[in-house]
Chain A
Amino acid sequence: MKPPPGAPAKPGPSAPARPGTPGKPGVPARPGVPARPPAGAAVKAPAPAAAEPPASDAIRGALREDRVLVAVGAGGVGKTTVAAALALRAAVDGRSSLVCTIDPARRLANSLGLKELGNAESLIPEARFQAAGLAPKAPLRAMMLDMKQTWDELIEKLAPPGKREKILSNRFYQSLSSALAGSQEYIAMEKLWQLRTQRDYQLIVLDTPPTAHALDFLDAPNRVLDFMNNEAARWLLTPALAAGKVGLKLFNLGSSYVSKTLTKFTGTETLQGLAEFMGSISGMNQDFRERAEQVRDLMADERTAFVLVTSPSAERLEEVVRFHTLLRQNHMRIAAVVVNRVHLPPTFEAMGQLNRLEPQLRRKAAATIDEISALAHNDAEGIKLIRKECEGTPLVEVPRFDLDVHDLPSLWKVGRFLCGEEAVARA
């Protein structure tokens, strides 16, 4: 594995060495020393201390203090990468961490040592860090969330012994656990709650499913609560519950005009099947309600924060603003907006060299410089808008790297930008 330019190829100035850390021979144990920027990229290290932008403080503070970080955002913006970079950084800095990914790209999964492990938490082996020139002070684990398995475990735990099989084999349960919109979002948070309460990680970073609508995510516990314990369920079940039996006959369809019409729409069997399912889970209502409330509390906990990930393009602006507004409305704390894959402007050095070229090559190079400038300009405009719309929330920029971010050195590099140790230079 050959690290990309600028990544710490072996323990060097950018390795996580701190004052008081017994550094390896030749490693200057000084904090805040920037890695050598990759050739040609317009990155610079901001002056330490006073001149630091608040955004990087926000991420560093979150990595130091928070117990749970939830990476949210639209699909395709790099949530998984940011989540993994955050967990890696926390572990390197000394907090035992877990990154819980939803659907990692295969090479990222490979570099985290994840292979079809389902819900198992796997320790990233020492050798991988050594190869990347990193020496974490605390363990880093990674897992891939298996939604179906998590649902099944939840039912097995909460269902009364005699009813487990019946529920697990019910067709409605099966589509609820694997297909129902919103159930993915819910189960991700349910798993987070289990991990939070049953394990002693200092930090858990949760990657989230690509959500088309921010509301699906925030609304998920409520939806599941509705499902498990709502008026409609009671209305459907009352005749049977009153009669003291739970079975096929519980669904008294003849009783109302509403249910008659509904039957015309869905068919009798569908309603009966659903009623049967609700009958079998009715004993679990209370447990589910408590659980969903605890999940909701965990989201609102003062040591839980959201990291809103987006791309700089103007097309994504509406989505990020909607997410931001909803999180705020729901009193969720947003640690930072991370603008990922920002195009960097061409360097002055490169532009200055144009005149020295022979005409044909100069035309080609100038065209390329123009294209790069246009991309960087578009991104800068997009970021301005995001900054304006998300005022009051720290904003961190991570540049677009030449290669896909999939290995530990590149994740480490992303983390350096998140923590403000490297920054996108703006003229």
Chain B
Amino acid sequence: MRLLDKRLLVVTGKGGVGKSAVASALALHSARSGKRTLLCEINAADRLTSLLGKPVGPELSLVEDNLWAVNVRPEEALREYALMVLKFKSVYRAVFENRLVRYFLRFVPSVSELVMLGKVLFHVKETQGGAPRYEVVVMDAPATGHAISFLQVPQVLLDTVATGPLWTEAKWMRDLLVDPKATAAVLVSLPEEMPVNETLELEDALRKKVKVGTALVVLNGYTSPRFDERDLQALGGTALHAVAKNHFDRAQLSLDSRGRLERAVAAPVATVPRLYEQTRGPPMVEKVADALARALESAP
């Protein structure tokens, strides 16, 4: 099953590995492959606006052909959800803008996580004229530890509340998340020992605790070999030797990291070359998208 046949791609990984850039690039790739795609950022400090070069806010907005983006935040998600349940704005105001209720809702376990996840999953289910409104939803999920607890919220809620509307909501969300045909994780890693270790642990935890399988590992910041042993010998004890040796070691580590990931995870590993120029924002995302497109074409 191809990656873009999934309905929801959960992009996650250790903090600082380039999750948002990879999520943006993946969404771009999906849109350009002809899929109506929605990219969702979860209660983040708006990384997408600078990465995509178009304003991304709490309302869905069109970024380019076939690509929409939204920053899902708890207040707006709660309001939208409550309005869906309650139907009337006046009722919403009377109840949810009540100061005591606001206090109280903060402490019903994980309400904000639930409504944010609910919004993303709602868009996965959403249809228009009988067809899915968005064929692929890419979620720029929280980092490692937070991602696990975020995705577990429906299950935690099912264990906490016995019946009622919250239970019903949690139930369909959980079912959609654990459906391997609909949902898959995309893990972002770096070619270093510790990040790879964490990726392997994350893959394991997602599979065992959340019941979400990994469909792709993106190895970001990959260094391809440049120097060989002969070069190093030729450089002898010069200061350049240290420079070349460092590159040589990083290339070796990149290769090893890729090998470890390929052996341990039953999913293709796409490498994204390390970027050196001061590229940020859209040009950087374009480069990552190109690299992903190449890697996905050659993937089995």
Contacts and interface: CB of A to CB of B under 8 A. Distances in A.
Given A175-B156, A180-B109, A257-B94, A266 B165 contact: yes
Nearest to A171: B160
Contacts of B165: 264-267
A374 B110 contact: no
B53 interface: no
A223 B106 contact: yes
A227 B107 contact: yes
Interface stretch (B124-132, B174-182, B207-215, B238-246): B238-246
B33 interface: no
A315 B47 contact: yes
A176 interface: yes
B110 to A, nearest CB: 6
A169 interface: no
What's the dominant secondary structure at chain A's contact region?
Answer: helix
B164 A261 contact: no
B298 interface: no
A267 B161 contact: yes
A106 B196 CA distance: 12
Contacts of B95: 257-258, 261-262, 265
Contacts of B94: 257-258, 261
Contacts of B226: 364, 367-368
Interface of B is mostly: helix
Nearest to B167: A267
Nearest to B17: A76
A370 B160 CA distance: 56
Interface stretch (B24-32, B60-68, B139-147): B139-147
A180 B240 contact: no
B158 to A, nearest CB: 11
Interface stretch (B97-105, B254-262, B285-293): B97-105
B242 A270 contact: no
A274 B107 contact: yes
Interface residues of A, number: 76
A381 B278 CA distance: 10
Contacts of B149: 179
Contacts of A50: none
B145 A210 contact: yes
Interface in A373-411: 374-375, 377-378, 381, 402, 404, 406
Given A75-B15, A181-B113, A365-B244, A210 B146 contact: yes
A368 B243 contact: yes
A235 B100 contact: yes
Interface in B171-209: 192-194, 197-198
A398 to B, nearest CB: 15
Most chain B beta-carbon neighbours within 10 Å: one of A175, A231, A404: A175
B86 A264 contact: yes
Contacts of A45: none
Contact of B142 (A212, A231, A347, A381): A212
Contacts of A332: none
Contacts of B113: 181
B143 A75 contact: yes
A264 B168 CA distance: 12
A402 B43 contact: no
Q: Interface centre among B101, B107, B145, B161, by most A CB within 10 Å?
A: B107
A120 interface: no
Interface string B65-88: 000000000000000001001100
Contacts of A322: 45
Contacts of B197: 105-106
A155 to B, nearest CB: 16
B100 A231 contact: yes
B194 A232 contact: no
Contacts of B109: 172, 175-176, 179-180
A306 B287 CA distance: 38
Given A269-B162, A364-B226, A374-B276, A318 B110 contact: no
A274 B108 contact: yes
A83 interface: no
Contacts of B146: 210, 212
A350 B91 CA distance: 71
Given A210-B146, A350-B238, 6 more contacts: A105-B197, A212-B44, A258-B100, A265-B85, A350-B243, A357-B235
24 contacts: A39-B239, A40-B241, A77-B15, A105-B198, A175-B110, A175-B156, A179-B149, A180-B107, A181-B110, A226-B107, A232-B100, A257-B95, A258-B94, A262-B101, A265-B85, A266-B165, A269-B164, A273-B160, A350-B243, A353-B238, A353-B240, A357-B235, A368-B244, A381-B278
Interface of B: 14-17, 43-45, 47, 82, 85-86, 91, 94-95, 98-101, 103-104, 106-110, 112-113, 142-146, 149, 152-153, 156, 159-167, 192-194, 197-198, 226-227, 231, 234-235, 238-244, 246-247, 249, 276-278, 280
Which 9 pairs, one residue from A and one from B, show the smallest C-beta to C-beta distance? Answer: A267-B164, A75-B15, A40-B242, A76-B16, A76-B15, A175-B109, A350-B239, A232-B103, A232-B104
